[in-house]
Amino acid sequence: MKRAIAALIILSGMGIPFAGDNASAAVPSAAGDLARMQGTWKVVRVVCPAVFGEGRKGVIQEYRFQRDLCAITVNGKLTSVELVRIGADCFGKTITLVDPASSQPVPLHGRYTLDGDNLVLAFTFGEPGTRPMRIDPNDRRAAIVYLKRVR
């Protein structure tokens, strides 16, 4: 019991919320974000230090959100259609992509920010089933996609 209390004291001292902190008050709202994501978004920058650093020259990638689906194209070719689920937790807004056509779908858990015509998606590269704690371009395991709405 003493160890559990000590762990909670350490976590609260680090600023990590837990249920005893009324953490629900700090949870951001994702309400309406999926509706605001509808339409076509062009990838303007990709940061994935583990694979290729920053950028992918010559690659034109788009994400098209329609209802609860996202079609991803690369150089005009459809590469995947993903089921989109968004929400929030005490660390920020969450996004989960799942291939509904797969016989054994592996959800891709991530985080996002949506600010007008700018959308940022962050995923943990090479670790299926894990969600990054925050969007951090310096995280060596992160794959961060910066998108701009196509008008």
Is residue 102 very low, low, confident or very high in pLDDT (cuts 50, 70, 90)? confident
Q: Are 97 and 122 in contact (CB under 8 A)?
A: no
Tell me the CATH number for domain 27-149.
2.40.128
Q: Are 53 and 44 in contact (CB under 8 A)?
A: no
More confident residue, 23 or 91: 91
SS3 assignment, position 12:
helix
Does the structure show a pLDDT above 90 at 84?
A: yes
Q: Are 109 and 122 in contact (CB under 8 A)?
A: no
Sign of CA dihedral 61, 33, 122, 68: negative
Does the structure show a pLDDT above 70 at 54?
A: no
47-71 mean pLDDT: 77
Q: Are 8 and 18 in contact (CB under 8 A)?
A: yes
Q: Are 37 and 93 in contact (CB under 8 A)?
A: no
Closest Cα partner for 148 from 61, 28, 24, 52?
Answer: 61
pLDDT at position 5, please?
A: 39
Mean of all residue pLDDT scores within the chain = 80
pLDDT at position 60, please?
A: 82
- pTM strictly above 0.75: yes
19-34 mean pLDDT: 67
pLDDT at position 48, please?
A: 80
pLDDT at position 1, please?
A: 42
Q: Where are the domains of the chain?
A: 27-149
CA distances from 8 to 2, 3, 14, 27, 117 (A): 10, 9, 10, 19, 40
pLDDT at position 50, please?
A: 59
